[in-house]
Amino acid sequence: MKIKCEYCGTYYSDIETNCPNCGGPNAGAYRTGNGIPKTIEELKAFCTRYRIPLDKLRFFIGEDYREPKAYGIFRDTDGNYVVYKNKADGSRSVRYRGTDEEYAVNELYQKLKSEFANRRNAQAKAAAQRQSGMTYSTLPSGHRNLKGCGCFVTGIAIMVTIWIILGVIGMIYSSFMRSPSTGYYYYGGDTYYNYHDDWYYFDQGTGYWYPTGIDSYFENNYDDYYQSYSYDSDYGVSDFYDSGYYDPYDYSSSWDDDDWDSDDWDWDSDSDWDWDSDSDWDWDSGSDWDSDW
Could you tell me the residue ranges of all domains in the chain? 1-31, 32-133, 146-178
- Highest-confidence segment of 92-106, 144-158, 216-230: 92-106
Task: Name residue 83's beta-bridge partners.
Answer: 73, 96
166-180 in b/e burial notation, b at 16+ Cβ within 10 A?
Answer: eeeeeeeeeeeeeeb
Cβ-Cβ contacts under 8 Å for 191 (sequence gap 6 or more): 184, 185, 201, 202, 235, 236, 237
* Mean pLDDT (whole number) for 37-64: 90
Which pLDDT does position 166 carry in this prediction?
Answer: 77
Supply the mean pLDDT for the chain.
Answer: 77
Confidence band for 32, pLDDT divided at 50, 70 and 90: very low
CB 170 within 8 A of CB 259: no
Confidence band for 82, pLDDT divided at 50, 70 and 90: very high
Which pLDDT does position 268 carry in this prediction?
Answer: 46
Burial category of 112 from C-beta neighbours within 10 Å (exposed 0-12, middle 13-18, buried 19 and up): buried
C-alpha to C-alpha distance for 183 and 227, rounded to whole angstroms? 7
Which pLDDT does position 26 carry in this prediction?
Answer: 64
Confidence band for 253, pLDDT divided at 50, 70 and 90: very low
* Mean pLDDT (whole number) for 267-277: 53
* Mean pLDDT (whole number) for 235-242: 90
CA 207, 213, 218, 224 torsion-angle sign: positive
* Mean pLDDT (whole number) for 167-176: 60
Which pLDDT does position 31 carry in this prediction?
Answer: 43
Which pLDDT does position 257 carry in this prediction?
Answer: 37
CB 218 within 8 A of CB 231: no
Alpha-carbon distances, residue 146 vs 113, 136, 138 (angstroms): 42, 5, 9
CA dihedral 262, 1, 208, 197 (to 10 degrees): 0
CB 79 within 8 A of CB 13: no
Minimal CA–CA distance to 239: which of 198, 287, 191? 191
